[in-house]
Structure 1
Amino acid sequence: MNSTFSQSPSYYQVSINGNSNQEVWITDDGDIREQKNIVAMNYPLKMGDLIVWKDKKWLCNHVDDMEIYHRGVMLICYSTLKWLDDQGEIQETPFSFKSDTSSNFGIQEGRILMMPNERRQITVQKNDQTERIKKNRRFIIDGRAWKTVGINRLIDGLINLTLEEQDLIPADNLELEIADYIGNIADYQLKVLNVKDIVAIEENQTLQLSIELTNNSKVIEVDEQITYSVADENILSVSPTGLVTPLKKGISKITISFRNISQTIQVNVTSSTTNNYTAHITGDEFIKYNMTKSFTCSFKDNGIDRQEKAHFWLTEIDGLTTTLASIIEQDGQVCKIKANNKKGRVILHVENSTSLAYTKKEIEIKSLL
């Protein structure tokens, strides 16, 4: 920056679109206090730039590119426009206002007297959120309700909105200055589906957290905005997708967060244990010709009962397929075997769903006499 520029009485350091300490000249534009001229030597001014000068916000609504510097006109922002987006989230943007008597009034029909409806022309920065504003969107400005009746998006960096005064309704929130607030504001709820408040896992296990996110009771897609934090990172770690990996024995809490809501669970990491599965078949030692009997299997792991589904099958003593009897039904941990009319012996086999527990039982097929 040359010394002549910085020594000018019009020299200021301002913030432009959040970029602080930008060096500019700002001068008055005649008698219009709400409008200023701005010159930037090292910043490429653009229409729609938001400028903070003397703790006030200004919107750049005209720019001339003079090659070695940029010259523009900025209008003061009187307030901010607030509304709820499609997700019920509060959005906010500063706006400038310019009176235009030629288009400031419209005629509302359906009255005995033809009364003018007040209109206002406001300008906002063009961005991802303001681009979504549509006709009939309502706002609260200066304690009154306004409806968007016209939108001009043809200006680079700016959107002009034509607003028409409306009656206030019970859903409007005058304190927050947000129209259609009650019943439409976002209400996010976060729930961990596959674990309770406290969960125990072994050192050699992992745990994938299943998260449900709702907005006003409607399930919405979980995305990268879900964050996980661990109280003690020496005990366990959590990936960005919610995969919990133990690091050593101990207790730590995990906090799952979305926007301004969170859910906390406690994870107890225990020592790894060796599985010792056993199986046992309960039932008679024989079945008479053409009769049916039931057999029940129980599973245990280190002496503790395990309610697992059993798989039964029959063979001859030598392990080959048998014709002496057949399994006519099996469900859970119970099977029914029907004998044919030929003497002999069969082997009833059973195992659990992981095939880690197995046992067998010899059954005699004998005549009715």
Structure 2
Amino acid sequence: MDYKAYKSYLSNIKINVRDRNSVHSKQVMSSTFSQSPSYFQVNINGESNQEVWITDDGDVREQKNIVTLNCPLKLGDLVIWKDKTWLCNHVDDMDIYHRGVILICYSTLKWLDDQGEIQETPFSFKSDTSSSFGIQEGRILMMPNERRQITVQKNNQTEKIKKNRRFIIDGRAWKTVGINRLIDGLINLTLEEQDLIPADNLDLSIADFMGNIADYQLRVLNVKDIVAIEENQTLQLNVELTNNSKVIEVYEQITYSVADETIISVSPTGLVSPLKKGTSKITISFRNISQTIQINVTSSTTNNYTAQIIGDDFIKYNMTKSFTCSFKDNGIDRQEKARFWLTETDSVTPTTLATLIEQDGQVCKIKANNKKGRVILHVENSTRLAYTTKAIEIKSLL
């Protein structure tokens, strides 16, 4: 065996021995883990029944040591232990176990985000004096010159906190004058006391509340509270979402639910498709607001459009006459805008015997020229489903 191969062999032996020792030690610890008086089942970041050891750290009541075997710890982890929230502000990853330090969170920080929605996160105190004297339960330690340093978990919402953001803590107003985001998982905020203003809500402990809280409104623009569609039709709901009267585009967060899914179905984009005759309701929701509409699915009908042109069969030279049309669907009048045009008797070639000088709604005016002949007046409705013609003679004055 050459030197390199022998060196690799020795290295593998050392690794295998260390791995075996690590596994053995972990097995020993695990077997005695639940027998320890420091053993607890806690909630970490929403995951319940996490097995940990928690021990006191000297006389500092607000600080504890925590050890886990199978659950890696991270800075900023929120631990729920004995109905209180603790923030992990120090971690050490060992070969066999994970250990860290957690600080108690006596309260939560509340604020309104850019959309006017309430955000909330637990916070712990971070100061030089707290490590010497501790934080007495039920009393919050104030730093000199009316400043406080607090620590919060780094997440999508706390990352958006900027300088001059105001908060309410202990019934007093505080402004952010310093932010440290350099620590993974944690954000340290330096707060300075401010005067309260009328917009502050002391009951909710939210600064700058009045006039900034979200006010979402949901409206369906193209239908009423009750709408009927036929079995062979679909209906696209046109939904508008506003916040403080300003239209916002978060349509992917709007949800649709159907009371009776055997009658209708609705897509995530609000397209309603009938399945059979009947009545069902659709509830359109966004956050904590909703609107309900009723959909009546009726039998499909066959359209039978007809058109008629009313007027004389002739026009004399250089004279003008009016013609009116009517449209019907299954014998029922349809007030639709008409389109008129003139051709020769082949129904294709434009005519020079008369001129269409005006058309409005379902009425047109035609002026004859001074040449004898016959023209064809055409008319159709806006959907082109109703169409007819009328032959008109152009006669001399004699």
TM-score range, shorter chain: over 0.9
State the Cα deviation string for residues 292-319 of structure 1 (Å, max 9, x = none). Answer: 2222211111122212222212122233
Matched, 1:80 2:108: yes
Whole-angstrom distance in 2 between the partners of 1:185 and 1:247: 41
Matched, 1:183 2:184: no
Question: Among 245, 250, 260, which residue is 1:217 paired with?
Answer: 245
Whole-angstrom distance in 1 between the partners of 2:182 and 2:248: 34
Task: Give the aligned partner of residue 28 of structure 1.
Answer: 56
State the Cα deviation string for residues 61-120 of structure 1 (Å, max 9, x = none). Answer: 000111211110000001000000000000000000133469xxxxxxxxxxxxx74000
Task: Give the aligned partner of residue 39 of structure 2.
Answer: 11
Amino acid at match of 2:380: E
Alignment of 1:321-332 (within 5 A): 321=349, 322-332=351-361
The CA deviation at 1:327 is: 1.5
Whole-angstrom distance in 1 between the partners of 2:200 and 2:180: 26
Amino acid at match of 1:139: F
Matched, 1:250 2:278: yes
> In terms of mean alpha carbon deviation, does 333-342 or 251-260 score higher?
333-342
Q: In structure 2, the residue corresponding to 1:254 is in which secondary structure?
A: strand
Amino acid at match of 1:47: L
Task: Give the aligned partner of residue 357 of structure 1.
Answer: 386
Alignment of 1:144-223 (within 5 A): 144-223=172-251
The CA deviation at 1:179 is: 0.5
Q: In structure 1, the residue corresponding to 2:253 is in which secondary structure?
A: coil
Q: In structure 2, the residue corresponding to 1:284 is in which secondary structure?
A: coil
State the Cα deviation string for residues 124-170 of structure 1 (Å, max 9, x = none). Answer: 00000000000000000011110000000000100000000011111
The CA deviation at 1:184 is: 0.5
Task: Give the aligned partner of residue 90 of structure 1.
Answer: 118
Amino acid at match of 1:69: Y
Whole-angstrom distance in 1 between the partners of 2:61 and 2:196: 32
Task: Give the aligned partner of residue 336 of structure 2.
Answer: 308
Whole-angstrom distance in 1 between the partners of 2:396 and 2:59: 119
Whole-angstrom distance in 2 between the partners of 1:281 and 1:129: 68
Q: Give runs of ≥4 in structure 1 deviating > 4 Å.
A: none
Matched, 1:230 2:230: no
Whole-angstrom distance in 2 between the partners of 1:154 and 1:179: 26
Whole-angstrom distance in 2 between the partners of 1:136 and 1:100: 23
Whole-angstrom distance in 2 between the partners of 1:89 and 1:320: 65
Q: CA RMSD in A?
A: 1.4
Question: Among 222, 247, 263, which residue is 2:291 paired with?
Answer: 263
Amino acid at match of 2:366: I
TM-score with structure 2 length normalisation? 0.87
Whole-angstrom distance in 1 between the partners of 2:166 and 2:346: 84
Amino acid at match of 1:77: C
The CA deviation at 1:231 is: 1.2
Amino acid at match of 2:83: D
Task: Give the aligned partner of residue 136 of structure 2.
Answer: none
Q: In structure 1, the residue corresponding to 2:74 is in which secondary structure?
A: coil
TM-score with structure 1 length normalisation? 0.94
Instruction: Give unpaired runs (5+ residues) of structure 1.
Output: 103-115
Q: Percent identity?
A: 88
Q: In structure 2, the residue corresponding to 1:8 is in which secondary structure?
A: coil
Whole-angstrom distance in 2 between the partners of 1:319 and 1:252: 50
Amino acid at match of 2:369: N
Q: In structure 2, the residue corresponding to 1:224 is in which secondary structure?
A: helix
State the Cα deviation string for residues 220-260 of structure 1 (Å, max 9, x = none). Answer: 11422111111111111111110101111111111111111
Whole-angstrom distance in 1 between the partners of 2:128 and 2:320: 95
Alignment of 1:121-140 (within 5 A): 121-140=149-168
Q: In structure 2, the residue corresponding to 1:4 is in which secondary structure?
A: helix
Matched, 1:342 2:371: yes
- Contact 1:211–1:222 (Cα < 8 Å) also in 2: no
Matched, 1:368 2:397: yes
Alignment of 1:41-120 (within 5 A): 41-100=69-128, 117-120=145-148
- Contact 1:100–1:121 (Cα < 8 Å) also in 2: no
Whole-angstrom distance in 2 between the partners of 1:15 and 1:282: 83
The structure that has the greater radius of gyration is 2
Whole-angstrom distance in 2 between the partners of 1:291 and 1:90: 75
Q: In structure 1, the residue corresponding to 2:308 is in which secondary structure?
A: strand
- Contact 1:253–1:264 (Cα < 8 Å) also in 2: yes
The CA deviation at 1:328 is: 2.3
Amino acid at match of 2:394: I
